[in-house]
Amino acid sequence: MAKKTIEDIQVNGKTVLVRVDFNVPMEDGRITDDNRIRQAIPTLKYLLDQNAKVVCFSHLGRIKSEDDKAKNSLRVVSETLSEQLNQPVTFIPETRGETLENAIKALKTKEILMFENTRFEDIDGKRESKNDPELGRYWASLGDVFVNDAFGTAHRAHASNVGIASNIEVSVAGKLLEKEIDFLGGAIENPKRPFVAILGGAKVSDKIGVIRNLLTIADMILVGGGMSYTFLKAQGFEIGTSLVENDKIELAKSLLDEAQGKIVLPKDYKLTKEFSNEAPYRIARYDQFTPDEMGLDVGTETIEMYKELLSNAQTVVWNGPVGVFEFSNYAEGTKAICEILGNAKDTITIIGGGDSASAAINFGYEQAFTHISTGGGASLEYLEGKDLPGVSCLSDR
């Protein structure tokens, strides 16, 4: 990549500020998926092995009240990080002040400290998420070097990435950020062909830019999930009570025209009359919906089509499930994509974060993909061809 990485600099004896993405899902004070923590370990271990003093920090959740602060402390994350690094992690429950400053000054080489949720600074004026200049300068003053390893927030200019980078001499990418850019960038800039994109999820509006950009790059785009019903309706088909964006019908028509056959929609669906796992369903073709039915997954004919169309692909980028995979009766399509791609030995397979990443991990295919991105929104913006401020701010090679 064109930006400096941690292997381009010397960190021996230096205090290294590391922006990680530990915005992990929590339930009753317990981490339910520690993937983002595990993905950060190579960077942190490398820095510790190079005799750095490591200060890591992250956001967690959205902070609008004192109750939010109580539920979103990074203390439990620091405990999990300590287990995975197999060494103590000092936790400082502050985002600024003497306690934090003294703890950082007391760090020895090969020691690591984590300070509190950066979004705690948002409770009074959104200082973190609006890149308050004073906050960026303050955090930058706490260390010698800045490492951004938080791809999940790279599409946002925050005080904890752009703000620090603007006020410190050296800013570099961590191993995870480098990996994300190499895989996603490689897929966009120089893919092995045939290059197939799979786009699912609920809304066409979420992926307009992605579709437009991929139409100029991909050989084929398989569109499934809730967004496919808007495309069906744009072609004049009955979609019953399925999810639809009526204000995007004309847009869907224009995208189909632009695509000139590159956009491939499902051949059949699992149809039901209730949004429920228990309600009866039937499998029918795309032109056989009744007015009181909704589609919640793709059908068996579509799965067979996916197997055929993906069999020769050399690069596949997947973003968004093709059904309501949280319901066991409607997880078949998404699970089938995991299986097809997981068994594609000579294919570069990339999941662009979000729900499709969760599905792959939950279905046991985490190790079967070439790369699973940690950043849903950042992945989408990168696939759109947009500039990522959290990457642009880093030092050039």
Single out the catalytic residue among 136, 299, 354, 376. 354
377 is catalytic: yes
Count CA atoms closer than 13 A to 215's CA, side-chain side. 18
Instruction: Transcribe 289-333 into DSSP letters.
Output: --TT-EEEEE-HHHHHHHHHHHTT-SEEEEES-SS-TTSGGG-HH
Question: Angle 354-362/376-383 helices, nearest 10 degrees?
Answer: 120
Given a contact cutoff of 8 angstroms between Cβ atoms, the answer to whether 257 and 214 are in contact is: no
Q: Can you state the angle between helices 175-189 and 376-383, rounded to 10 degrees? A: 30
- Establish whether 225 is a catalytic residue: no
CA distance 62 to 48: 30
If we measure between CA atoms, which residue out of 162, 177, 193, 105 comes closest to residue 379?
Answer: 177
What one-character DSSP code corresponds to residue 163? Answer: I
CA distances from 88 to 55, 79, 84, 112 (A): 13, 8, 10, 7
Catalytic residue among 36, 127, 175, 233: 36
Q: Are 172 and 394 in contact (CB under 8 A)?
A: yes
For residue 201, indicate whether it is catalytic. no
Catalytic one of 203, 212, 267, 386: 203
- Beta carbons within 8 Å of 148's beta carbon, 6+ residues apart: 19, 154, 161, 165, 171, 172, 173, 174, 177, 390, 391, 393, 394
Residue 214 corresponds to which tokens in the numbers above?
Answer: 């991929």
**Biggest alpha carbon–alpha carbon distance for the chain:** 69
Asked about 240 being catalytic, the answer comes back as no
Catalytic-role residue among 61, 186, 377, 385: 377
Give the residue numbers annotated as catalytic, written as ranges: 36, 203, 354, 377
